[in-house]
Structure 1
Amino acid sequence: MIRILLADDHTIIRDGLKKILSTVPDMQVVAEAADGNELLALLRAGLPDVLLLDMSMPGRSGIVLIQQLQASYPALPVLVLSMYRESQYAVQAIRAGAAGYLSKNVESDQLIGAIRKVARGGTAVSAAIADKLIGQARQPLAALPHARLTARELQVFQMLAEGQGINEIASALSLSGKTVSTHKANILAKLELSSTAGLVHYAIRHGLLAEAGELGEASHTP
């Protein structure tokens, strides 16, 4: 029996995953977490066989959380199930220690197969992401400006592009507003941008968010 911990801040996503996995004889959802802090508390009480992790949750999340999990629980297979389709997030997640990365539009059979694979110690990514990873590995770093962002900068970048403000990000990540502002300045410098609006357009242009249409409001942020 593969014991699975689901970590996603959307109840409807967790319910959907539980419904899918309840039909699989060799899998059992043993715990659920809605944010990074709740997840860490559950892991301290006992490790599952596989952690199915959302890339973006309140509090600790994303690449920084994966790095923390790798440092504290190196034997725990982490399978990321994310709305972010762009290959750079997959690269960062795998480098941080994730055992796999799938988009949330993946078919149920693919998800079940990926869980079994990482539970056995393997690595699982979708065919589309694998192709992108190979292509990206052949590109010079200069061709991918956002590849120069650190894990924390990438996390702040995501949140800024989604329309979150400095104070909102600071609260979610338990950072000071000054620290978030510094990260923002570094991000803009590395991407050679001059404003949040430019950052949002960059995210849309490079496919760094799940749906560009969701950014209609954010694109007008000064």
Structure 2
Amino acid sequence: MTRVQVLVADDHGVIRNGLKKILDDTPDLEFAGEACDGKSVLEKVRERSWDMLILDLSMPGRNGLELIKLIKEARPPLPILIFSMHQEEQYAVRALRAGASGYLTKEFDGDLLLSAIRKVASGGVYVSTKVAELLASDVSRPLQAPPHTLLSNREYEVFTRLVRGISLTAIAYEFSLSIKTVSTHKSHLFEKMGVINQSDLVRYAINHGLLDQEPDNLRIQHSSTI
């Protein structure tokens, strides 16, 4: 039997080791490689073909949604299963739009993970019932669509960091942008969301279930926004 060659990209060694055990204990799957940051996963993707990629959405060195697009540019046929701590409401639709073939949160059981891996590796798309509902809502895009769904991917990434108190300086550093550019994104998202200050933005995030705890690599500077 030819085993599915899986590349695992996650910045936490415990997660990579856990996935390695699960994959290597499964006859039709193989843990064939690993990467711990955005740069290394791109290098791995470019150096050889893989049957599929399991990708953490929050990787050091690259914005998650941007990383999906770069991977698909380098290897268009490569199926990507996002394996994330973020709840589906926050990133699933955007990840699928960017080119991912499935989205699974890290609150999973082993059987569900294996089912998702096999479906994505075979060329299918894995979505939970909740994600399917989100996709249906996104396609219909009602006139009263939540304002955050109208943000560009970059604006949304800035939004998720602003509501956690990360400074514009830190956001600019993370995305390799100028503070002026980040300030422009902030102004645009404030306008689109109809808020006038950061407190309104935080309140909106809480009310819409968009505020959860970020992984350590995104806690860059929790200082006041300049």
TM-score, scaled relative to structure 1:
0.87
**Alpha-carbon distance in structure 2 between the residues aligned to 1:162 and 1:184:** 14
| Residue of structure 1 in register with 2:191 after alignment | 189
| Residue of structure 2 in register with 1:127 after alignment | 129
Give deviations 1:26-73, integer Å, cap 9, x for gaps: 212222222211211111211321111111222213222212222222
Point out the more displaced range, 112-121 or 176-185: 176-185
CA gap of 1:2–1:210, structure 2 versus 1, over 3 A, is farther
**Alpha-carbon distance in structure 1 between the residues aligned to 2:20 and 2:197:** 41
CA gap of 1:165–1:195, structure 2 versus 1, over 3 A, is same
8 Å Cα contact 2:88-2:130 kept in structure 1: no
**Alpha-carbon distance in structure 2 between the residues aligned to 1:33 and 1:159:** 24
Point out the more displaced range, 22-31 or 135-144: 135-144
Gaps of 5+ in 2: 215-221
CA gap of 1:142–1:71, structure 2 versus 1, over 3 A, is farther
| Residue of structure 2 in register with 1:26 after alignment | 28
| Residue of structure 1 in register with 2:218 after alignment | none
8 Å Cα contact 1:80-1:100 kept in structure 2: yes
Q: Which amino acid aligns with 2:33?
A: A
| Residue of structure 2 in register with 1:38 after alignment | 40
Give deviations 1:126-162, integer Å, cap 9, x for gaps: 2232233334544515321111111111222222233
Q: Which amino acid aligns with 2:172?
A: A
Q: Which amino acid aligns with 2:83?
A: L
Match of 1:149 among 148, 151, 174: 151
**Alpha-carbon distance in structure 2 between the residues aligned to 1:75 and 1:82:** 21
| Residue of structure 2 in register with 1:7 after alignment | 9
- 1:90 partnered with 2:83: no
Give deviations 1:179-201, integer Å, cap 9, x for gaps: 11211121111111122232222
Match of 1:71 among 63, 70, 73: 73
Q: Which amino acid aligns with 2:100?
A: A
CA gap of 1:197–1:142, structure 2 versus 1, over 3 A, is same
**Alpha-carbon distance in structure 1 between the residues aligned to 2:140 and 2:90:** 13
**Alpha-carbon distance in structure 2 between the residues aligned to 1:28 and 1:210:** 32
Give deviations 1:93-118, integer Å, cap 9, x for gaps: 11111111111112211111111111
Between Structure 1 and Structure 2, how many residues are aligned?
219
SS in 1 for 2:144: helix
Gaps of 5+ in 1: 213-217
RMSD over aligned CA atoms reads: 2.5
**Alpha-carbon distance in structure 1 between the residues aligned to 2:115 and 2:42:** 26
**Alpha-carbon distance in structure 1 between the residues aligned to 2:19 and 2:188:** 37
TM-score, scaled relative to structure 2:
0.86
